[in-house]
Amino acid sequence: MVNKLTIIERYKKKIKLLNKHNKLYFNNDNPEISDSEYDNLKKEILDLEKQNDFLFKLNLNKKVGTSPSKKFKKVKHLKPMLSLSNAFDKNDMKDFISKISNFLNTKGKNIEFSSEPKIDGISATLIYENGVLTKGLSRGDGVVGEDILENLKTINEIPKKIKGINVPSLFEIRGEIYIGKKDFDNIKGNFANPRNAAGGSLRQKDSRETSKIPLKYFAYGFGAIEPMIFATQSEFLEKIKNWGFSINPLSKTVKNLDEIEAQHSYVDSIRSSLDYDIDGLVYKVNDLKLQSRLGNTSSSPRWAVAYKFSAEKAVTKIKDIVIQVGRTGAITPVAKVEPVTVGGVVVSNATLHNEDEINRKDIRVGDTVQIQRAGDVIPQVISVDSSKRDQKSKKYIFPEKCLCGAVTKKEVNKSTKKEDAVRRCLKGYECDFIAREKLKHIVSKDAFNIDGLGKKVIDQFWEIKLIRQPSDIFTINYNKIKNLDGWGELSINNLKKAIDKSKIIELDRFIFSIGIRHIGQENAKILAGFFQSINKFKDLFNSKERKKILVNLIELDGIGEIQIESINNFFSINTNTEIVKQLINQLKIKNFKVQNKKGKFSNKTIMFTGGFEKMSRSEAKTLVENNGGKVLGTISKKLDILVIGSSKPTKKKIENAKSLNIKIILEDDWYKILNL
C-alpha cells in the first residue's frame, strides 16, 4: 500500500508541473505540451484529491491561468470588433438570407455576398493615418485591444505606408495573422499548434523575437474609414490588394444560395491542401450601404455569418442519462458517453435536447450512438444503432420531478395552444439548482461580466455556501477564500477588483442579468428605454403598480403577451422580488441613455401600420431608435406620430389616431424625413 508521504510527494510534483505549464501557456505564449496532455495532467491531480482528502489541507495554488497581461498598453478600438453568428448547414444559410431579405424588404431579389475563408488565426487591426501605419491592436475583448504595433511591423507583407491614389485619411484594416502549415513544421517543437504559435509570437515583449517567427496575414475587412470611398466589400478587397495588402485568393462574390453551397463544398474539398487552417467561410452582404442599413445586434453584425464546415461525427456508447436544470427551470437530459474524440476535442457528454427527442429516437442507456459536434456547439446525439442494442435494454422513462423534488410541467403556448417540448421546474430561486444556474448567468459576459468568477468558481463557492444569491457576490468574505485550494493573494485581489468594477452597470444589462424568462438582450433594451431608471423599474415589485405598468408595456413594439406574462410571473414570486431588491442595494445602476438625443425623432413616439415599399418594419424601428425615438405597438395618447405604409394599413388604427388628434404621415413623407 502506498504511504501518505509518497502520495504527497507525487501530488506536489504534479502541482509544480502544472504551474510550470500554466506559466508557459498564459505568460510566455509558448506551450510545451498539447491541450490533451495538459487536460490529462489536471485530471490526474483531481483524481488524487478525490482519493485523498488530506491533500486539500496543503493549500497549493493550482488556479488555471495567470494575472492579466501587463506587457502591452490597452487601447480602445475605433469600432468594436464583433463576433460572427454561425451557420452549419444549408437551412441555416437559407434562414440567414431570409432574415436579411425580410429586414431590407427586398421581396425575393437576389442579394450579392462577398465571401472568404475563415482563417484559424489571430485577429488584429491596423490603423493608417494619411497612409502611414500608426497603430496595431490585438482583438482583445472586441472593445479594447493591446497595442502590438511593433510586433505587427515585423510581418514583411504588411505595408508600413500605403502607396496609392485616394487613400482615406483614416483607414482601419482588419486581418487574420497566421503561420503556414509548412512553416509551422519547422518550429512545431516549440508550440502546441499554429494558432498558439501565432498568438504567442504577437505577444512577445521583444519584437526581435517576433521577427524570428514566419508570420503571415490576410486582410479581410475594415473598421473606421474617413472618408468612405468604397461601395462594396469586393471593391474594398480589390483596392487594398492593389495597394499591397494580402487578401485570400479564394475570396469570391456569390449571388444566391446555390452558388453559396457550390463554393462552400468546393473549398471544403480542397481545405486539406491549403497551407493554412480554415474552419468555414465568412459570407458578407457585398453592398456596404446595405450593410449599414442592416447594422448589428448586441453581439454580431446582421450582414455577415460564418458558414462552418460539416460537423465532426463519432460513434460511442451511452453509459447513463442524467438531467440538468437550467436557469429558466428547463429540464435537459444529458447522455454520459464513453469518452471519444470529436473534432480534436475529447467528448464525454452529449445533449439529448428534451423528452420528446428521446422518445422519437428511442434513446436508451447502453445504446451505441453517433454524436456530432459543430463548431462550439454542445455535442448532440444524432442517431442510435439499434442493431447493437442489448435485448435486455429498457425504454428510458423521463422523470416528472425536478432534482429539487418539485413536479415539473410542460407549459402550453397561449397563441398556438401547443404543449411545450420542454419540461420545467417553476420554483425559480426557490429551487437550488435553478438558483445556481441563475448565478452563472448573472456573472456571464453579457450580464455583469465578472472576470475570474466563472461557472466552476460559482460551483466552488456554492458548495461552501459562500454565494447562494446574487447579492452575495458583492458581500463576499474574502478571508474565507484564502483557505480554499487554488486561491492565492493575487487571484483574490483580482477577483475583488473585478467584482467592485461590476457594481456599476447599465439598466438594460441589469434587466437582462436577473434572468426573467423570455427577456433577452434586445427585450431588455426595450424595457430599459421604457423605465429609464432603476427607481421606475422597482415599481414592478408592487402588485398594484405592476398591473398598471404591464398594461402600458403592451404599447411597446417588441414586447408581447409572452414577455408581459413572464415579467408578471417572475415578480409575483416573493422570493424573486426580495432577491432582486437585495441585489439592487449593492449596485449603482445607470439610467438608460437614448442613443441620439439630437436625432430626428428625439423624445418622440412612433407607430407603424401597413407594409413599406423600401424597407421592413424591423429596419424602420431601428432607424427610429437610432434617431432617439421610441416605437409603440398600440394607439394611445402617448403616441406622437403614426406612419402609414402603402401596403394594407389597419383602418382601425388610422381612425383611432385621428380621433386622438395624433399626427399622421404617409410612407413618402417618412422617406423625406429620413432623406431616402
Catalytic residues: 118
Q: Which cell goes with 548?
A: 398598471
Q: How many CB atoms lie under 10 A from the CB of residue 29?
A: 19
Q: Say if residues 142 and 83 touch (Cβ distance below 8 Å).
A: yes
Query: What are the backbone angles phi and psi of residue 142, rounded to the nearest 5°?
Result: 95, -25
H or E segment to which residue 253 belongs: strand 252-254
Q: What angle do CA 376, 377, 378 make, to 5 degrees?
A: 115
Cα→Cα distances 658→103, 287, 479, Å: 29, 40, 66
Across the beta sheet with 641-644, the strand order is 630-631, 605-609, 641-644, 663-666
Task: Provide the total of helices (H) and of strands (E) in the chain, helices listed first.
Answer: 24, 22
Residue entry with cell 468574505: 477
Q: Say if residues 635 and 662 touch (Cβ distance below 8 Å).
A: yes
Peptide bond into 227 cis (omega under 30): yes
Cα gap 405→427, rounded to integer Å:
10
Beta-sheet strands, E only, within 271-408: 278-285, 304-308, 312-325, 331-342, 345-351, 368-373, 380-384
Q: How many CB atoms lie under 10 A from the CB of residue 504?
A: 10
Total residue count of the chain as it appears in this document: 676
Q: Which cell goes with 649?
A: 394599413
| Three-state secondary structure of 148-192 | CHHHHCCCCCCCCECCCCCCCCEEEEEEEEEECHHHHHHHHHHCC
Instruction: Please classify residue 443 by burial: count the beta carbons closer than 10 Å to its beta carbon, then call 0-12 exposed, 13-18 middle and 19+ buried.
Output: buried
**In a 3-state reduction of DSSP, which class is residue 146?**
strand
Cα gap 470→433, rounded to integer Å:
14
